[in-house]
Chains A and B, each alone.
Chain A
Amino acid sequence: MNTLLTRSKNLGQYGIFGAFVVICLGLAVINPQFMTVSNWTIIITQVSINALLAFGVTFVIITGGIDLSLGSMVAVTGVVAASLAHPDTYPVIVPIGVGVLSGVAMGALNGLVITKSKVPPFIVTLGMMTIGRGLALILSKGRPISNLSDSFNFIGGGSVLGIPFPILILVVFFILCTLLLKKTVLGRYIYAVGGNEQAATASGIRVNKVKMAVYTLCGGLAGLAGILLTARITTGQPNAGAGFELDAIAAAIIGGTSTSGGTGTMTGTLIGALLIGVISNGLDLLNVTSYYQQVVMGAIIIGAVVLDSWNQKK
């Protein structure tokens, strides 16, 4: 009976993958344009930013936390990077490095407040969401920052061997995040903290360090996403990224990460992000207006969680 349980649990993960495949096949039948290399390149490029954010928030959600400040961190890092990325000023590594570091710093601050004050992550990161948005507006004086160097814009628009650069970044960070979660001591501790925080403490795990690590990591990935976005739209927008946190959280949840912590995989999150991308792309191809797209997306989020809870009960 126990192997049966494990099997049906695995089916839960295949379930979302199965749904993904079925939707793709369906769209391919309805619209032959869907299954073309060029269309998939568009989908994955568009998904890359949400996927990076979703990887970060997956770490956080597995520990039983949440990060609502992702979208604002995207804006701050975008503005910071853009202000350092004008042509003939600094080498391109500077805007990238400082941009990512500003995300890391905000994430670390989230982690610090959460671990020191014991205020719930929902509230701390809700506050950080507003602080971040304000910072982005202050740093940019409320105006978009344009005129960025070509080498910086290459991150968002260039390609290597015909593969768009954002896709390469996505693949590399998917592999890194998967390895971190599955193969390292920190990864194991992340699951342990979310699975039972008190037992993790009693097992000698320094829970606060683990939490610091995940929020910092999440901030760093948000910084990277911010740079990707800025380079793609070739502008640092203080209003960019609003609502991105919800798409990222949705991707993680659709991918089987439990909001109560302790379970989740990067593969699931990647599929969740791709599913969101495929559906909005597919609905575009079917000429469904974006109003309806939102309704469909919401239904899918709830459906995925219902499916998961049925699987859990079995």
Chain B
Amino acid sequence: MTRQPDQLLQVRNLSKSFVGVKALDQVQLDLKKGEVHAVMGENGAGKSTFMKILMGLLSPDSGEIWLEGDVLKNADVNETLKRGISMIHQEMLVVPELTVAQNIFLGREKTNWLPFWLDDAHTNAQAEAILQQMGVDIAPTTLLKHLSVAEMQMVEIAKAISNNAKVIIMDEPTSAISDKEVATLFKIIKDLKQQGVGILYISHKMDEIFQISDTITVLRDGQYIGTKPASELDQPTLISMMVGREITNLFPEIVPSKGEVVLSVKRLTRQGVFSDITFEVRKGEVLGLAGLMGAGRTEVARAIFGLDRYDNGEIQLNGQTIRIHSPAEAIALGIGYVSEDRKGLGFIPAMTIQDNITLSSLSQHAKAGWVMTDREASVATHMMQNLRIKATGAAQKVSHLSGGNQQKVVIAKVLQAAPDVVILDEPTRGIDIGAKFEIYKLINDLTAQGIAVVMISSELPEILGLSHRILVLSKGKQTALLVREEATQDVIMKYAMQ
């Protein structure tokens, strides 16, 4: 291979197998200085394996990685970091009890003339300089645990910069931050580009990819599919490259609903979080809940479901006023909630698919406290077929499933408790296009069965494509209740920013 000075990172024929399964097969990549290069692919396409190899966390079976014309061989994490490859992890690898400056220089602590004596003043000053250069307003002495996710991300980027990173890998950096924070992030990315840093960018969000990236490389099932300039691609082409087939109609047809009111919320208020939230959902209707991150959508859902308390207001279910103190009560009354926090609130990783699916309805499959295993098994198998959960069987542990299938298990659990109304909170977050499509169809099936659906989503196409009516929240207040015909992305955004 010849030395190409403007080529920052070159990857040739990289392959990696796990126990006979090819996770990566002959993958190629060229990253130039000052380029934002998106790596796209469905979950399981091999993106994270690829990034782990680049970071030196895994060693490849074959293939070569060149950094600025020098081959990287058997490099471990310390080596790759030293050579200038940094990664911003999706699940922030920060130490919550240390300060911003201490986190930035973690592992490379500044000392004074005694090589073991920490020099806090110097550390803080250097951290401050980097943060200022980034245009970020965070005090270097703040403890990490007091920062928002977006701010933690900035600290991680500052850490990469302090490390003189030439290549920065960003793994779904926008999955948990607000639109405003995304704008800040993109500005920083543009600055980094100017300084000649190459960025490998992983994300599931299509519009964002086209907004920020110069080049797009697509992987599918560990295979290298191709690399193209972003300007030569459009969304349908990119999707078909990722999925390997064309998805023409992402959203199913919406059938009008004219059932009676199932859930009615009146002037629901939780002091300092949200106030005067009023809406109704009818049988077979999807009410979209739109708004920016932090608008209070999840908090409203949590209050209705009994996870948090509320101070004022009234909730009616099927015409009856109810007061819910716990999720157990909410489920018993017929309210289901699929959380945005799949790992935290959704499933029990160490338990099997079957045990997870029946968890909310276990007493229905039990007699005098004894679980009737046969009945439980048939119920779980039936749900797995209905929701097309891909697994080796009902006895497989949920921790071994893909994100999309884990989400389906959580939805199955909620549905198994026979709810009248289901609140879906970011139901397609972090799952790939194929599984998204299936969840959209599933939502349609639910409404066909007469279930009322409240869907919280930050993806406006999803809100517009599935909802009968759309409630927009901003800073804890409702700013609009739109019917489907009058809603567009612009209108929703206008109310969401109000």
Contacts and interface: CB of A to CB of B under 8 A. Distances in A.
A203 B371 contact: no
Contacts of B330: 204
Nearest to B21: A1
A177 to B, nearest CB: 15
Contact of B328 (A5, A184, A204): A204
Nearest to A180: B369
Interface stretch (A27-35, A76-84, A186-194, A217-225): A186-194
Contact of A201 (B307, B355, B400): B307
Contacts of A187: 371
A5 B345 CA distance: 25
A198 interface: yes
Given A3-B392, A202-B327, A204-B328, A186 B348 contact: no
Given A4-B19, A183-B371, A199 B400 contact: no
A259 interface: no
B392 A2 contact: yes
B275 to A, nearest CB: 24
A191 B413 CA distance: 16
B337 A2 contact: no
B359 A206 contact: no
A6 B348 contact: no
Contacts of B396: 2, 6
B360 A203 contact: yes
A199 B345 contact: yes
B331 interface: yes
B392 to A, nearest CB: 5
Given A201-B307, A263-B350, A184 B345 contact: no
Contacts of A184: 366, 369-371
B339 interface: yes
Given A2-B400, A192-B348, A199-B346, A204 B360 contact: yes
Chain B: interface size category: 35 or more
A109 interface: no
Contacts of B287: none
B345 A202 contact: yes
B55 to A, nearest CB: 19
B83 interface: no
B349 interface: yes
B18 A1 contact: yes
A171 B75 CA distance: 55
B369 A196 contact: no
A186 B369 CA distance: 7
Nearest to B346: A199
B372 to A, nearest CB: 10
A169 interface: no
B360 A199 contact: no
Contacts of A299: none
B411 to A, nearest CB: 13
Contacts of B345: 198-199, 201-202
A1 B355 CA distance: 21
A202 B397 CA distance: 19
B417 interface: yes
A204 B332 contact: yes
Interface string B378-414: 0000000000000110011100100000000000010
Nearest to B347: A199
Interface in B6-31: 18-21
Contact of A183 (B349, B359, B370): B370
B29 to A, nearest CB: 26
B184 interface: no
A131 interface: no
Contacts of B366: 184-185
Contact of B339 (A3, A5, A202): A202
A185 B362 contact: yes
Interface in A196-251: 196, 198-206
Given A4-B19, A191-B350, A196-B348, A203 B413 contact: yes
A205 B346 CA distance: 13
A15 interface: no
A262 interface: yes
A204 B348 CA distance: 13
A25 B192 CA distance: 66
A188 B326 contact: no
Nearest to B307: A202
Contacts of B233: none
Contacts of A203: 327, 331, 359-360, 413
Nearest to B345: A202
The residue in B332, B346, B351, B397 that gathers the most chain A C-beta atoms within 10 A of its C-beta is B351
A195 B307 contact: no
Contacts of A263: 350
A195 B328 contact: no
B132 interface: no
Nearest to A9: B397
B272 interface: no
A188 B362 contact: yes
Contacts of B391: 2
B18 A200 contact: no
Nearest to B336: A204
Interface in A1-37: 1-6
Given A184-B370, A191-B350, A203-B360, A6 B21 contact: no
B5 interface: no
B244 to A, nearest CB: 22
B363 interface: yes
B392 A188 contact: no
The residue in B363, B392, B417 that gathers the most chain A C-beta atoms within 10 A of its C-beta is B392
Contacts of B18: 1
B344 interface: yes
Contact of A185 (B332, B348, B369, B400): B369
A1 B348 contact: no
Interface in B296-353: 305, 307, 326-328, 330-332, 337, 339, 344-351
Contacts of B370: 183-185
Given A6-B396, A196-B348, A205 B359 contact: yes
B304 to A, nearest CB: 13
Contacts of A186: 369
A190 to B, nearest CB: 11
Nearest to B376: A188
Given A2-B392, A6-B396, A262-B350, A199 B344 contact: yes
A202 B326 CA distance: 9
A196 B331 CA distance: 18
- Per CB-CB distance, the 6 closest pairs between chain A and chain B, nearest first, are A195-B348, A204-B331, A262-B350, A204-B328, A202-B345, A203-B359
10 contacts: A1-B18, A3-B392, A188-B359, A195-B349, A199-B344, A202-B305, A202-B327, A203-B413, A206-B328, A262-B350
Given A183-B370, A203-B360, A206-B326, 10 more contacts: A184-B371, A185-B362, A185-B363, A201-B327, A202-B307, A202-B339, A203-B327, A204-B332, A206-B328, A262-B351
